[in-house]
């Protein structure tokens, strides 16, 4: 299960993710991001309540990162220990802007 709460004001978008981002829920986030990203130059993904991220979820982060590099910047915030470990193991810690 994944709950996505988004807050878009002007060219800044904040997505808060809660639950699991895996094969089953990744398409949902992909669709929401695709719909929201036009005209956004600053994207913040808040992962405080994200319990788990699978490779399918990482793929969404990677493709979103690529899109945002072209039109602005993407930040990942409030990463908890479990997800941080996955980021480190997969090398995502090096390519994402984590605050």
Partner 1 sequence: MAFVIISAIVLALAVFGLVVGLFGFASFDSVYQNEYAVSTYHMADTATLLVNGDHLDDYLAGDMAEEYERTRTNLDVYCNKISVSLLYVIQVDRGDYRSFVSIFNSVDNSVDNTSYTPWELGYERETTNDEYRKKYKALYEQESLYETVYRVKTKDGQNPHITTLVPVKNSSGNVVAILCMQRPIREIRDARNSYLYSIIISTAVLALLASVFAAGFVRYRLIAPIRKVSDEASRFARENTKGKALGNISGFAELSRLASSIDTMEADMTCYIENLTRVTAEKERIGTELNLATRIQAAMLPNIFPAFPERTEFDIYANMHPAKEVGGDFYDFFLVDRDHLCMVMADVSGKGVPAALFMMASRIIIANNAKMGKSPAQILADTNASICQNNREEMFVTVWLGILEISTGKLTAANAGHEYPAISKRGGGFELFKDKHGFVIGGLDGVKYSNYELELEHGDKVFVYTDGVAEAMNRLGELFGTDRMLGALNEAPEASPEQILNNVLRATNEFAKDTEQFDDLTMLCVEYKG
Quote the least distance from Cβ 10 to partner 1, whole Å: 28
Of residues 62 and 73, the one with the C-beta less far from partner 1: 62
13 close to 40: Cβ distance less than 8 angstroms: yes
Tell me the HSE value of 67 on the side-chain side, using a 13 A CA sphere. Answer: 18
Of residues 12 and 34, the one with the C-beta less far from partner 1: 34
CA 72/CA 86 separation, integer angstroms: 25
Quote the least distance from Cβ 22 to partner 1, whole Å: 8
Site for partner 1 in 78-97 (CB under 8 A): 88-92, 94-95
Of residues 27 and 39, the one with the C-beta less far from partner 1: 27
Give the 3-state secondary structure of residue 88: helix
Q: Residue 74's closest CA among 27, 12, 6?
A: 12
Q: Which tokens in the block code for residue 47?
A: 């992962």
Compute CA 53 distance to the chain's CA centroid, rounded to the nearest angstrom: 10
Site for partner 1 in 23-82 (CB under 8 A): 23, 26, 52, 54-56, 58-59, 62-63, 66
Residues lying near partner 1 in the complex (CB under 8 A) are found at: 22-23, 26, 52, 54-56, 58-59, 62-63, 66, 88-92, 94-95
């Amino acid at each position: 299960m994944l709950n996505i709460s988004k807050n878009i004001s002007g060219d800044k978008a904040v997505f808060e993710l809660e639950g699991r981002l895996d094969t089953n829920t990744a398409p949902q986030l992909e669709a929401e991001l695709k719909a929201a990203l036009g005209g956004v130059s600053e994207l913040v993904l808040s992962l405080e309540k994200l319990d788990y991220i699978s490779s399918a979820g990482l793929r969404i982060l990677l493709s979103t990162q690529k899109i945002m590099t072209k039109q602005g910047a993407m930040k990942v915030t409030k990463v908890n220990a479990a997800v941080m470990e996955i980021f480190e193991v997969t090398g995502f810690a090096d390519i994402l802007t984590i605050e």
